[in-house]
Homo-oligomer: A and B are copies of this chain.
Amino acid sequence: MEKKRRKVSIYDIAKALNTSGATVSRALHDHSSISIEMKEMVRKVAKEMNYRPNTVAINLKRGKCNTIGVVVPNIHRNFFSSAIDGIEEEAYKIGYDVLICQSRESYEREKKILNSLSRGKVDGVIASIASGTSEYSHYTALEDCGIPLVLFDRMSDRVNAGSVTIDDFRGAYHVVEHLFEQGRRRIFHYAGFQHVSVWYNRYRGYMQAMQSHGIEPGEDWVFIGDTSEQAGVMMARQVLKMKQRPDAIFCTSDFVALGCMLELIRNGVRVPDEIAVCGFADEPMDALISPSLTSVNQFSKKMGQQAARMLIDRLNGEPAVNIMLEPELIIRDSTLAKKS
């Protein structure tokens, strides 16, 4: 085990061949003005010395790093890890690397991450805003640094950036329509914090759909909170205490829906017969639990692809645009009326 030897540079190769760094650099790039013999010698020695071009030096010289930064609340939810798959797919096609960062829904962390990324680590950023964020100066600062930004899913009008979203309003609207078709009327809604675009839009879709069916949801029909499984459990407990229970609950998150549904079942409520439950995001577990959970497919991978393509376009000087995809209602057992 020897001491850490210094990394070999083109100058080490140059010295070994009694030539200059410039020649080595050109030889390795197969530049036309270098003789074939020299090229071969350089390549041979480079291999022997286990030479690796230093990306950091190259990036400094080039003024860009062929890297896209991705900032998401977390990588545990399938929605985000699939979006990342889509982003990576597109990025790798054109030789870009992807730097994944988790904000963990924290404003502070998100701020730190974006600040760090803005110091030359990435050429552009794709992000989905943390739920803890309601002030966006760290996002606008990015564009001020000349780093193009594309938001996906959770976005904000206050940030001047490209965006890829699904039509959360219509997604929610469809959910309510479906529940109506199944004979439900007393439909509750668990909403996320209203400063988060997607949760706000789903709430609006819910309200609009209810109203257009002539129903004005009561004050206690709508819950607001974080989107954890535990939050779903807590809501279920509140619902269980109510004199007049709902006949359906539409949750803005699959995890809330999961926690809620399981807690209802644990307390003897028959789902969907007594209370139908619906989530949003179409996480893989939805199909596995019983009853399987009705949800809304957000085409996360596609969103990631589109966001990546848009960012690449922006890096090539194209202007920012806003893309909205259509969601798809995935009907499963948790909302189906009793088989007659």
Contact of A81 with B88 in the complex, beta carbons under 8 Å: no
Measured between beta carbons, the chain B residues less than 8 angstroms from A258 are 288
- B65 and A75 contact, CB distance less than 8 A: no
The 4 closest A-B pairs by CB, nearest first: A55-B119, A54-B120, A100-B100, A4-B146
A60 at the interface (CB under 8 A from B): yes
Give the chain B neighbours of A121 by CB distance below 8 A. 55-56
Contact A97 B75 (CB under 8 A): no
Within 8 A of B (CB), among A82-111: 82, 84, 88, 97, 99-100, 102
A267 interfacial by beta-carbon distance below 8 Å: no
Q: Is A145 in the interface zone, CB < 8 Å from B?
A: yes
CB of A242 closer than 8 Å to a CB of B: no
- The reply on A50 being an interface residue by CB < 8 A is yes
Contact of A81 among B60, B75, B118 (CB under 8 A): B75
State A220–B186 Cα separation when bound (angstroms): 55
Using a CB-CB cutoff of 8 Å, which residues 57-75 of chain A contact chain B? 57, 59-60, 65, 74-75
Could you tell me if B120 and A56 are in contact, using CB atoms closer than 8 angstroms?
A: yes
A: contact size bracket: 35 or more
Complex Cα–Cα for A315 and B141 (A): 34
Does chain B have a CB within 8 A of A37? no
Tell whether A78 is near chain B: CB-to-CB under 8 Å.
yes
6 residue pairs of the A-B complex, CB under 8 angstroms, read: A5-B146, A55-B116, A56-B120, A57-B60, A75-B75, A75-B100
Q: How far is the CB of A141 from chain B (nearest CB, A)?
A: 8
A7-B145, A285-B285, A285-B288 in contact; A118/B52 too (CB < 8 A)? yes
Q: Is A144 an interface residue (CB 8 A)?
A: yes
A31 to chain B, nearest CB (A): 20
Q: How far is the CB of A290 from chain B (nearest CB, A)?
A: 5
Whether A321 is near chain B, meaning CB under 8 Å from some CB there, is no
Distance between A60 CB and nearest chain B CB, rounded to angstroms: 5
Q: How far does the alpha carbon of A68 sit from the alpha carbon of B132 in the complex, in Å?
A: 27
Contact with B along A125-164 (1 / 0, CB 8 A): 0000000000000000100111000000000000000000
Closest to A118 in B: B52
Contacts of A119 in B (CB 8 A): 52-55
A97: which B residues are within 8 A, CB to CB? 116
Question: CB-nearest residue of chain B relative to A258?
Answer: B288
User: CA A290 – CA B7 in complex, angstroms?
Assistant: 55
Decide yes or no whether A289 CB sits under 8 A from chain B. Answer: yes
Asked if A266 is an interface residue, CB under 8 A from chain B, the answer is no
A29 within 8 A of B: no
Asked if A76 and B65 make an inter-chain contact with CB atoms under 8 angstroms apart, the answer reads no
Q: Cα distance A99–B122 when bound, in Å? A: 12
Would you give the shortest CB distance from A173 to chain B, in whole angstroms?
28
A52 CB to nearest chain B CB (Å): 5
Give every chain B residue within 8 A of A284 (Cβ-Cβ).
285
